[in-house]
Amino acid sequence: MASNAHISSIGYEVQVVGDFLPHLNCGICLLIMKNATHGCSKHVFCEGCILKHIESGIRTDGKIMCPGGCGICIDSSKLEANEFVDRMVNTLSTKCSNHLCNWQGDLLDLVQVHQLNCEFILQSCVNHGCNEKYLKKDMLQHNEVCLYKLIECTYCHTHIIRINKGNHDVECANKMVKCEYYDIGCKKEFCRRDVFLHEDTHQVQHMRLI
């Protein structure tokens, strides 16, 4: 089977554990059948594959023939689902295609649950401007350091991109700052927006310190 596990509009491309019956492969895409469908009384295909064959309009003597080579005329109104084959496919023993992951289970669990939640899926950061990729299990760790993550200023509660935090801290009117005479005796701390008020009301004290 193919090395990558994913679902397409045609068959299932997954890693199967052990042997399985060859008639579970679609005769058109050659992958394991997805939504098994009778094109005729003799042959079963993926629903997507047989519909694509019919829609392609390839005709023999003006008729669309079963691609299984049985010579039977088919059309979309006569297609029937094959639940028996679907049950066999859904219970095939499979494993995650990611070499870091040890998961094994039924094909149905693989495509409906595990492939969406595998901790070893390589994914791209969702933060605009970040091009980093990481394993799904490392998402929280990445968010702790991502320079493009939106974070909240602890002083003014404005949301800023982490990479701009340094510039924001220099300008934030709510950030606590020390008096410029702090080192020589004025131990006052206040919001940056109150700098001029502090200087006006403490001129005498500052002069004495100088």
pLDDT digits (tens, 9 = 90+) for 176-208: 888 888 888 888 888 888 888 888 888 878 888
pLDDT at 1: 34
Residues 111-154 pLDDT 10s: 999 999 999 999 999 999 999 999 999 999 999 999 999 999 98
Distances (CA, A) of 172 to 99, 106, 152, 155, 175: 48, 56, 12, 8, 6
Show the domains of the chain with their CATH numbers: 6-117 (3.30.40.10), 151-209 (3.30.40.10)
pLDDT at 3 over 50: no
pLDDT at 91: 95
Residues 75-88 pLDDT 10s: 888 889 999 999 99
pLDDT at 56: 81
Q: Is the pTM of this model over 0.85?
A: no
pLDDT at 60: 63
